[in-house]
């Protein structure tokens, strides 16, 4: 083990109110940012974020994550191609996996409904206005103006357990970005244009594109508002059994 990692582990064993506060603040302060300033993010910052995220745990330590970091001309080419496809032939494209169940049971259907109400409501978009919703969706492909985009993939030969590992890795990227004053938006919308992305990035055929992510500095107005989305209370998802204080 490197001396630097040993020092971190020794320090973190003791814990402290300050470190709990700092981490809680970053987790609670993260939100799906859909409006970024043009301020650039240095390559070193993204390297530092990935350098932290690589410590994500994974079953049998197989570390299934694959990441393509794009900026500059390549990011512009991706935005251009995907925006055009979204406008001209979106029905010709499809993801290689199903993110949402075809029919959502409760309470998930109601939560999705509430998401739509809050999301489009905050943008002044009437939910029956398909053209306005489509224009908003299209902003995904421009990484919402962020200077850096990630395309995140997994080896298709792996099983569902490895997707747990990948999810944790994605969250760690977002937390490490948050610790550096950056915001992010994880984006499954990129999976739909996987065939097009393969023509633009060196993604081997055994890899399945899971999602994208925008990373940058959030616009001040959205940053101070934070997440629009409520969360269920602990009692709705956890049960304490035979737990003594």
Ligand X SMILES: Cc1cc2nc3c(=O)[nH]c(=O)nc-3n(C[C@H](O)[C@H](O)[C@H](O)COP(=O)(O)O)c2cc1C
Closest CB to ligand X among residues 155, 188: 188
Q: Rule CB under 6 A: which residues touch ligand X? A: 31-32, 34, 115, 140, 185-189, 211, 227, 229
Cis omega (within 30 of 0) on the bond before 107? Answer: yes
Q: Measured from the CB of residue 116, what is the shortest distance to ligand X in angstroms?
A: 10
Q: Measured from the CB of residue 229, what is the shortest distance to ligand X in angstroms?
A: 4
Provide the b/e sequence for 104-120 (b: ≥16 CB within 10 Å): eeeeeeeeeeeeeeebb
Closest CB to ligand X among residues 6, 129: 129
Q: Measured from the CB of residue 109, what is the shortest distance to ligand X in angstroms?
A: 15
Tell me the C-alpha distance between 61 and 163, whole Å: 13
Number of neighbours of residue 144 by Cβ within 10 angstroms: 21
Tell me the C-alpha distance between 141 and 86, whole Å: 9
Facing residues of 187 across strands? Answer: 212
Q: Measured from the CB of residue 146, what is the shortest distance to ligand X in angstroms?
A: 12
Q: Measured from the CB of residue 145, what is the shortest distance to ligand X in angstroms?
A: 13
Closest CB to ligand X among residues 187, 200: 187
Closest CB to ligand X among residues 147, 178: 178
Closest CB to ligand X among residues 32, 158: 32
Question: In terms of DSSP H, where are the helices of the chain?
Answer: 3-14, 17-29, 43-53, 72-88, 108-122, 130-138, 160-179, 194-200, 220-225
């Amino acid at each position: 083990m490197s001396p630097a990692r040993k020092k971190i582990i020794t320090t973190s064993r003791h814990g402290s109110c300050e470190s709990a506060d700092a981490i809680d603040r970053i987790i609670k302060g993260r939100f799906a940012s859909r409006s970024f300033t043009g301020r650039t993010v240095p390559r070193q910052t993204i390297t530092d974020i990935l350098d932290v995220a690589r410590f994500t745990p994974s079953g049998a330590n197989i570390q299934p994550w694959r990441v393509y970091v794009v900026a500059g001309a390549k990011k512009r080419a991706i935005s251009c191609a995907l925006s055009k496809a979204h406008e001209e032939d979106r029905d010709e494209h499809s993801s290689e996996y199903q993110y949402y169940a075809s029919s959502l049971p409760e309470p998930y259907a109601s939560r999705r409904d509430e998401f739509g109400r809050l999301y489009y409501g905050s943008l002044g978009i009437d939910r029956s206005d398909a053209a306005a919703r489509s224009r908003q969706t299209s902003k995904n492909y421009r990484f919402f103006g962020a200077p850096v985009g990630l395309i995140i993939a997994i080896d298709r030969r792996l099983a569902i357990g490895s997707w747990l590992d990948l999810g944790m890795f994605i969250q760690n990227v977002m937390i490490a970005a948050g610790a550096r004053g950056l915001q992010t938006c994880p984006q499954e919308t990129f999976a739909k244009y996987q065939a097009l992305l393969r023509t633009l990035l060196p993604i081997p055929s055994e890899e399945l594109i899971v999602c994208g992510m925008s990373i940058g500095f959030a616009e001040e107005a959205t940053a101070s508002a934070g997440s629009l989305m409520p969360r269920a209370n602990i009692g709705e998802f956890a049960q304490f059994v035979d737990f003594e204080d």
